[in-house]
């Protein structure tokens, strides 16, 4: 018998108390009321939950953690794609990474978009008009192809123009549901697209996958110093929370003319670019992807740049980087 699926509603469990103060210490770092400052900080004054948070009653572990561990037990590799600054091509790289993994029909790949306020993955993958469906086994990912499934808050919004105005606890709740309630099935790779920076979404994913394990993170940057400064902070974040850094990718590294295929610099690496950053930090430079205007065109139309323009130097760079990631993970 085939299970009948129905469109999923925007999850109501995300509606944590709306009266929690903006800088609630219970939600900071997602420690909940385990935080030593819970109910005792100046930010707690006037909060209806202050007495409960400040009580000495022992708190149990997050009940979602064992459910997440069970669901993630069928996922072989979990890779985070991070960037310190927005606009450096992180989501585009995530999409190309997913497409490249899924090019092998024997490899099952998932992409989880936790860029909650700016979910661009559905558009880049050409599935922006799709909806999430649910069955007895949980939410079903939206499939780009048979072996490439995607989950994003973008599927749950009434319109692509609707703003997501959530504080940390609501974001935390959605990420928890993406991990424990989505029927990912048996996956070889789960690629997690994160927002820029080192904030709520990053802390949530690290906390929730602590027991399941994160295989590594890929850091995306562009050549100019203003982007590299933020990558330094991303590196510091990874080291503090114990995430293995697989390497750095320099996006928009030169410009490829679609006509003559020659390459010239657009964003000058005034301080040595990602190459020097990699040398200074002891992190591997996975590769440099030149700026090809057709990458943006492919993202707008929701098609695979790797398939559409196999002769582009950018495609060669993408594939070399992806092959190197596989080698590092001993999957090649």
Question: Strands across the sheet with 138-140, in order?
Answer: 6-7, 133-135, 138-140
Residue 117 is labelled as binding a ligand: no
Residue 87 is labelled as binding a ligand: yes
Of 156, 144, 173, 160, which is closest to residue 7 (Cα–Cα)? Answer: 156
Are 287 and 317 in contact by the 8 Å Cβ rule? The answer is: yes
Q: What is the number of alpha carbons within 13 Å of residue 107 lying toward its C-beta?
A: 19
Count of C-beta atoms within a 10 Å radius of residue 225: 14
DSSP three-state, residue 99: helix
Of 303, 290, 296, which is closest to residue 261 (Cα–Cα)? Answer: 290
Residue 238 is labelled as binding a ligand: no
Residue 60 is labelled as binding a ligand: no
For 242-290, where are the alpha helices, taking DSSP H only? 273-281
Residue 84 is labelled as binding a ligand: yes
Residue 296 is labelled as binding a ligand: no
Residue 272 is labelled as binding a ligand: no
Diameter of the chain measured on Cα atoms: 70
Residue 168 is labelled as binding a ligand: no
Residue 257 is labelled as binding a ligand: yes
Task: Find the Cα–Cα–Cα–Cα dihedral 223, 202, 188, 98, rounded to 10°.
Answer: -40
Residue 89 is labelled as binding a ligand: yes
CA distance 131 to 78: 24
Residue 85 is labelled as binding a ligand: yes
Residue 39 is labelled as binding a ligand: no
Residue positions forming the annotated binding site for [4Fe-4S] cluster: 24, 44, 47, 53, 257, 260
Residue positions forming the annotated binding site for ATP: 84-91
Residue positions forming the annotated binding site: 24, 44, 47, 53, 84-91, 257, 260
């Amino acid at each position: 018998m085939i299970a009948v699926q129905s469109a999923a509603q925007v999850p109501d469990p995300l509606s944590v108390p709306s009266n929690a103060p903006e800088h609630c210490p219970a939600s900071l770092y997602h420690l909940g009321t385990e935080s030593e400052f819970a109910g005792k900080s100046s930010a707690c004054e006037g909060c209806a939950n202050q007495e409960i948070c400040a009580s000495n009653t022992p708190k149990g572990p997050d009940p979602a953690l064992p459910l997440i561990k069970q669901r993630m037990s069928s996922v072989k590799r979990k890779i985070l794609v991070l960037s310190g600054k927005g606009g450096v091509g992180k989501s585009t790289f995530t999409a190309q990474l997913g497409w490249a993994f899924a090019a092998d029909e024997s490899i099952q790949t998932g992409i989880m978009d936790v860029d909650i306020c700016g979910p661009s993955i559905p558009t880049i993958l050409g599935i922006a008009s799709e909806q999430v469906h649910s069955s007895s086994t949980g939410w079903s990912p939206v499939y780009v192809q048979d072996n490439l499934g995607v989950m994003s808050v973008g599927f749950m919004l009434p319109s692509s123009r609707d703003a997501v105005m959530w504080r940390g606890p609501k974001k935390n709740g959605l990420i928890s549901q993406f991990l424990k309630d989505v029927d990912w099935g048996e996956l070889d790779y789960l690629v997690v697209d994160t927002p820029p920076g080192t904030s709520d979404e990053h802390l949530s994913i690290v906390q929730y996958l602590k027991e399941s394990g994160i295989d590594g993170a890929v850091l995306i940057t562009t050549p100019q110093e203003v982007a590299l400064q933020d990558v330094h902070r991303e590196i510091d974040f990874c080291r503090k929370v114990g995430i293995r850094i697989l390497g750095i990718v320099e996006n928009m590294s030169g410009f490829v003319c679609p006509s003559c295929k020659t390459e010239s610099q657009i964003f000058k690496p005034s301080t040595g670019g990602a190459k020097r950053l990699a040398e200074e930090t002891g992190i591997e430079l996975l590769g440099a992807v030149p700026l090809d205007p057709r990458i943006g065109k492919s993202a707008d139309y929701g098609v695979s740049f790797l398939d559409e323009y196999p002769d582009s130097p950018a495609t060669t760079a993408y594939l070399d980087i992806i092959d190197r990631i596989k080698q590092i993970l001993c999957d090649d």
